[in-house]
Amino acid sequence: MNAATAGAPLVNAELEFEPAVDGKCVVYDRRQKKYFRMGMRETGFLRSLDGARSAEQLCLAPGDFTAAQVRTLLDWFASNGMLHDAVRAAAPKPLLERLAAVTDAKLVLWNPDAFLDRHRPLIAGLFGLPARAACLAICLLPMLLFVLAPRALDKPLQAYMYQLDYVQAVLVLVIMLLIVAGHELSHAVVCKYFGGAVEAVGISFLYLAPIAYCDVSATWRLPSTGAKVAVALAGVVFQLLLSCLLLSAWIACGVDLLMTLAIINSLIALLNLFPFVKLDGYWIAVYLSGLPNLHQRAVAAAWRRAARLVGLGALTSAKPADEPAWLPWFGLGATVAVPAFWLMGLFNIYRWLAPYSPLGASVLAALAVVLLAYRGVRQATAHLHQLRKGVLHG
């Protein structure tokens, strides 16, 4: 039993509870700036934790949940900082865990919410009929130009991925940084259009690579699935529209660097649709499926399936009745993709630093391996605990 729930569990006062929509409630933690989406029964149980009853009394009390389910919920609430006792009595984290947290560090550069609020009329105009017609025209323009200038297709695409000189490489890097900034701003603009708050834009790390990020977690407050998907898809749409403009400019003026930019930009945009790591495609899958914490659920489903295939099904919890048939396969994809992306990040660190200091690159890569191994062991242990919890508590 989690130490935080051993006494009398009390709901964290920093939580905000949104009205229920379609049988689900969104809970916002002001301290952590995190959103949680839960069923109405789970939310009601959380709100009832007034500190007057011990964990054991809660397990024995009649209600919607069995004793095992109460223990599971209390553990989950505590581990996510949703209980006052868990917040107050949090133990210092081990050194390795604190170091491993660096791989998830975020540097906030700007709070764009007030800026976006001041420009609401302009944002609304971006979704009007003229703007939509302009987007359609941008998409159709390269096709029209190809019809008028078919010779543009004479060279294969590989011919445009040539070795850039120093000036061209710097130019491409600067332009791509501006495009990435536009990608993140697109998420912010669409989120604000649908009424969500956007409180942070900055730099974070994804699989050891620095990336720009935009905090649009308020998307969970939007009632429409279509609005949520639009927020997640906004950056990719921006990049693909820009690729159409670059392609049109290349056909018109014949500067090969424009085609190179269009190819690089399009590849990055399409990579963002990859659903098995937490890129835009993952959040699209979350919103379309209606399954928050999709990664954890899918990996747990894959582990359950694997345990049963090797004859260890008795050590796992029962499959949830409402679990989609595709979930274990999604979990298999995530189980393969996540380590692959970590390895790719390690390889890139070594490749970038080795020309300057082979020893330094090796030391840094070795440290990253230790931290990632530590994270992997902790996550595997947590998955095993979740798999066995249904049996041990049942």
Residue 227 in tokens: 């609005």
User: How high is the pLDDT of residue 313?
Assistant: 62
Query: Whole-angstrom Cα distance, residue 316 to residue 386?
Result: 8
Mean pLDDT of 9-30: 86
- One-letter amino acid identity for 261? L
pLDDT, one tens digit per residue, over 86-100 is: 444 445 667 666 666
pLDDT, one tens digit per residue, over 72-121 is: 888 888 888 888 864 444 456 676 666 667 777 889 999 999 999 999 99
Please, how many CA atoms are within 13 Å of residue 119, restricted to the half-sphere of its CB?
13
Residue with token string 């120093």? 166
User: How high is the pLDDT of residue 115?
Assistant: 97
User: How high is the pLDDT of residue 226?
Assistant: 96
Q: Domain residue spans in the chain? A: 3-91, 104-288, 294-392
The CATH class given to the 3-91 domain equals alpha beta
- One-letter amino acid identity for 316? T
| 184 pLDDT more than 60 | yes
Query: Whole-angstrom Cα distance, residue 179 to residue 235?
Result: 10
pTM (two decimals): 0.84
Mean pLDDT of the chain: 86
pLDDT, one tens digit per residue, over 287-328 is: 999 888 899 889 989 988 888 888 776 656 667 777 899 999
Number of H helices, E strands in the chain: 15, 6
> Strand runs (DSSP E) across the chain, as ranges?
15-17, 24-29, 34-39, 106-110, 201-206, 209-214
97 contacts: CB under 8 Å, gap ≥ 6: 374, 378
Any long-range contacts for 330-334 (C-beta under 8 Å, 24+ apart)? Answer: 330/275, 330/276, 330/285, 330/294, 330/298, 330/301, 330/302, 331/297, 331/298, 331/299, 331/300, 331/301, 331/302, 331/303, 331/305, 332/302, 333/275, 333/276, 334/276, 334/277, 334/295, 334/298, 334/299, 334/302
Q: Which residue has the higher pLDDT, 178 or 312?
A: 178
Q: What are phi and psi of 35, to 5 degrees?
A: -110, 145
| 42 pLDDT more than 60 | yes
Residue in 240, 247, 224, 246 with CA at minimum distance from that of residue 273: 240
| 60 pLDDT more than 80 | yes
Q: Which residue has the higher pLDDT, 126 or 318?
A: 126
Task: Return the minimum-mean-pLDDT range out of 175-179, 218-222, 276-280.
Answer: 218-222
Task: Return the minimum-mean-pLDDT range out of 281-285, 335-339, 388-392.
Answer: 388-392
Mean pLDDT of 252-264: 92
User: How high is the pLDDT of residue 81?
Assistant: 84
Query: Whole-angstrom Cα distance, residue 158 to residue 161?
Result: 5
C-alpha distances in Å from residue 170, one per residue of 177, 230, 345, 357: 11, 32, 22, 22
Q: How confident is the model at residue 1 (pLDDT cuts 50, 70, 90)?
A: very low
Helices (H), 149-224: 166-193
| 375 pLDDT more than 90 | no
pLDDT, one tens digit per residue, over 130-165 is: 999 999 999 999 999 988 887 767 777 777 777 788
Task: Return the minimum-mean-pLDDT range out of 7-11, 45-49, 118-122.
Answer: 7-11
| 389 pLDDT more than 80 | no
Mean pLDDT of 381-393: 55
Query: Whole-angstrom Cα distance, residue 219 to residue 230?
Result: 10
| 390 pLDDT more than 50 | no
User: How high is the pLDDT of residue 392?
Assistant: 33
- 24-29 and 34-39 strand pairing: antiparallel
Query: Whole-angstrom Cα distance, residue 173 to residue 79?
Result: 41
User: How high is the pLDDT of residue 275?
Assistant: 97
